[in-house]
Amino acid sequence: MEISEEVIDGIRELITIGVGHSAGMINELTKAHVTLTVPEVRIFDINHQTALSALDVTDPDESSQVILSFSGEYTGSLSLIIPYKSAIHLVVFLTGEEGSPDEMDALRVETLIEVGNVVISSVMSSFSILLSSPLTFLYPVYRIGKWVENSLIINSHPKQGILARKFSYYQFSPQTGNPGPNEISDPGS
Amino acid sequence: MTSDYASIISQSLNTLPVGICIIREDHTITFWNRTIETWTGISQIQAEGRVLEDVVPVFREHHEKSRLKVVFKGGGPVILSSRFHPRIFPLRDNSQNEGKYQRIIISPFILQDEGTQAIITVEDVTAITEQVFMYRQIKDQLAFELEEKKITQRALEMALSKLNNLASITRHDLLNSLTVFEGYLGILLNQEPGGKIQTYLEKMRESTLSMKRHITFARDYQEMGNAAPTWYHVESLVKNSGTGPIFRDITIEANTGNLEILADPLIIKAMYNLLENAVRHGEHTTHITVSHVKGPDSVTIILEDNGVGVPSDKKGRIFNKGFGSNTGLGLFLTREILGITGMQIIETGTPGKGARFEIRVPAGHFRYPGEE
């Protein structure tokens, strides 16, 4: 399906607005300062090969995914995909936890779901201005593994994906320093 | 929705083990279930009909207010985790455990004629939260202890290295001095002084040889356990150990098939000691057999000869250091080498009919490659 540059610009704009709102909420939630860049937006068919090429990878790493499925006027899902290790570091930095950030325990998963939920809800809220009737949502779920192998994504219909990829920098109060970049992708379908 | 149907739904929601509160878009509470009533101490009558922020003041806070707004703006369900919002709904008693840590999910739904509503689900995650805290504490403690152990291990390795170096240098210098001493002793003996001097010099030479053997033992003993154990094919081990002039007239037969054992690299020396022992002390040994017997959780290697055997009064002492008619170190060292990988050795032969050594190899330390 050919999508015009104007539509892609519109999608980029809506994602930027949504993520911008979510950045403000994460700032409040965590007392951290989140700087976000304008996302790169791509439209692609969802299958293993095209997804890999859209993600610019040949063998994707394990990732943490927060997925929100919806149906109604539009049907699909919105996933926040963060490389697994970055996700652990993100949660540890956002919560200011002490101790070794080596695994994703139940509390960290719950925290990441909330952070992912803040981003996803803001983006969905931003997209809702295009809708004439409200959508129906499932609860957000957490998945771990390779995103392109996730059955929720692979079995989705229609098989059209939007990839919004960005590198985000989480800046903290002076005493905690800057933990560096985290790659965040928001593929929605 | 008919009033009967609404009543069924309401009764069902009251039986759930999670707190449930339903609000309209203007935040008026339309439903407050029994679980949340129990946790908060706020009755359905007190809550229903009032504005959410008046009953649950945390929703007046800017962040929680914004999140709630997202739900009604079409953003989908909102999750408030226990990590960032430990307790949103007030508790009946601040010291109670129920609802101490809460996970909130706010989800929109549309009710015909009544527009968008939001269902707020309150999960009590106290047990899992406290378990994770405890698990993290244990993990941190283990990590700390592991680090301590690593430091101790490094210190021990350094100390061992120093001791090994010291022992090695001392042995080397001692052997050099002994060689010089032995050389002069040889010169003196070659002059055949005779009488008591001759006797004393010969005793001195015996003593020198004994000292050399002690030094050799010290070297072997030091090497024990220094290298990681590896797998040895028993038949090859026997074949390689039973070579040399001493075994020229001896038939050595090994019937252990593909049996392999996990052993310290000095096992070669231990096997040689056992075979040499059979020849040296057997007096008329001509045949040595090595076989094995499989047990339920171990395997026993049996080494038998047709020599004179071990006298009954000596059986209990043959593995002691210093016992024996030769160096007194062979069987002691053999037992120590076998013991590194958990093997045990005993002597079960019949005096007069030959010696019989049984080596018990524990589970996990033997294998039969190629067999299931």
Q: Tell me the per-residue pLDDT of B233-283, one tens digit each, with 9 for 90 and over.
A: 999 999 988 888 888 889 999 999 999 999 998 898 899 889 988 998 888
pLDDT at A176: 36
Which of A29, A91, A141 should be substituted to probe chain B, the one whose Cβ sees the most B Cβ atoms within 10 Å?
A29
* Alpha-carbon span B260 to B230, nearest angstrom: 10
Question: Quick check: A124 and A66 in contact, CB under 8 A?
Answer: no
Task: Compute the nearest-CA separation of A75 from chain B (Å).
Answer: 13
Q: pTM for the whole thing?
A: 0.63
pLDDT at B303: 96
User: Looking at the partner chain, which of A29, A100, A124 has a beta carbon nearest the beta carbon of B75?
Assistant: A124
pLDDT at B327: 55
Name the least confident of A42-46, A87-91, B121-125, B326-330.
Answer: B326-330
Task: Compute the nearest-CA separation of B112 from chain A (Å).
Answer: 13
Contacts of B140 in chain A (CB under 8 A): 99-100
* Alpha-carbon span B31 to B14, nearest angstrom: 10
* B77/A139 touch (CB, cutoff 8 Å), yes or no: yes
User: pLDDT above 70 covers what percent of chain A?
Assistant: 63
HSE value, Cβ hemisphere, 13 Å, CA-based, for A35: 8
User: Looking at the partner chain, which of B73, B116, B135 has a beta carbon nearest the beta carbon of A125?
Assistant: B73
ipTM of the complex: 0.76
Question: Quick check: B286 and B340 in contact, CB under 8 A?
Answer: no
Secondary structure class of B338 (helix, strand, coil): helix
pLDDT at B25: 92
What are residue B254's phi and psi, to 5 degrees?
-120, 125
Instruction: Give the pair of three-digit tokens for residue B27.
Output: 């935040």
Residue A166 has pLDDT above 70, yes or no: no
Residue A31 has pLDDT above 90, yes or no: no
Name the least confident of A172-181, B73-82, B145-154, B347-356.
Answer: A172-181
* B82/A140 touch (CB, cutoff 8 Å), yes or no: no
Burial of B116: CB neighbours in 10 Å, binned 0-12, 13-18, 19+: middle
Which of B136, B140, B145, B147 should be substituted to probe chain A, the one whose Cβ sees the most A Cβ atoms within 10 Å?
B136
Q: Tell me the per-residue pLDDT of A129-145, one tens digit each, with 9 for 90 and over.
A: 777 777 888 888 898 88
What is the helix (H) or strand (E) element at residue A166, kind and residue range? strand A160-171
pLDDT at B189: 93
User: Looking at the partner chain, which of B75, B79, B103 has a beta carbon nearest the beta carbon of A125?
Assistant: B75
Name which residue leads in pLDDT, A15 or B29: B29
User: Looking at the partner chain, which of B73, B128, B140 has a beta carbon nearest the beta carbon of A99?
Assistant: B140
* B80/A114 touch (CB, cutoff 8 Å), yes or no: yes
* B83/A117 touch (CB, cutoff 8 Å), yes or no: no
Instruction: Give the pair of three-digit tokens for residue B213.
Output: 């053997």
* B83/A100 touch (CB, cutoff 8 Å), yes or no: no
* A134/B110 touch (CB, cutoff 8 Å), yes or no: yes
pLDDT at A189: 45
Name which residue leads in pLDDT, A125 or B189: B189
3-state per-residue secondary structure call for chain B: CCHHHHHHHHHHHHHCCCEEEEEECCCEEEEECHHHHHHHCCCHHHHCCCEHHHHCHHHHCHHHHHHHHHHHCCCCCEEECCCCCCCCCCCCCCCCCCCCCEEEEEEEEEECCCEEEEEEEEEECHHHHHHHHHHHHHHHHHHHHHHHHHHHHHHHHHHHHHHHHHHHHHHHHHHHHHHHHHHHHHHHHHCCCCHHHHHHHHHHHHHHHHHHHHHHHHHHHHHCCCCCCEEEEHHHHHHHHCCCHHHCCCEEEECCCCCEEEECCCHHHHHHHHHHHHHHHHCCCCEEEEEEEECCCEEEEEEEECCCCCCHHHHHHCCCCCCCCCCCCHHHHHHHHHHHCCCEEEECCECCCECEEEEEEECCCEECCCCC
User: Looking at the partner chain, which of B75, B103, B136 has a beta carbon nearest the beta carbon of A122?
Assistant: B75
Q: Locate the chain B residue with the closest alpha carbon to A94.
A: B84
Task: Say how many CB pairs under 8 Å bridge A and B.
Answer: 88
User: Looking at the partner chain, which of A111, A127, A135 has a beta carbon nearest the beta carbon of B83?
Assistant: A111
User: pLDDT above 90 covers what percent of chain B?
Assistant: 57
* A131/B74 touch (CB, cutoff 8 Å), yes or no: yes
Task: With cut-offs at 50, 70 and 90, classify the pLDDT of residue A57.
Answer: low
pLDDT at A51: 64
pLDDT at B341: 92
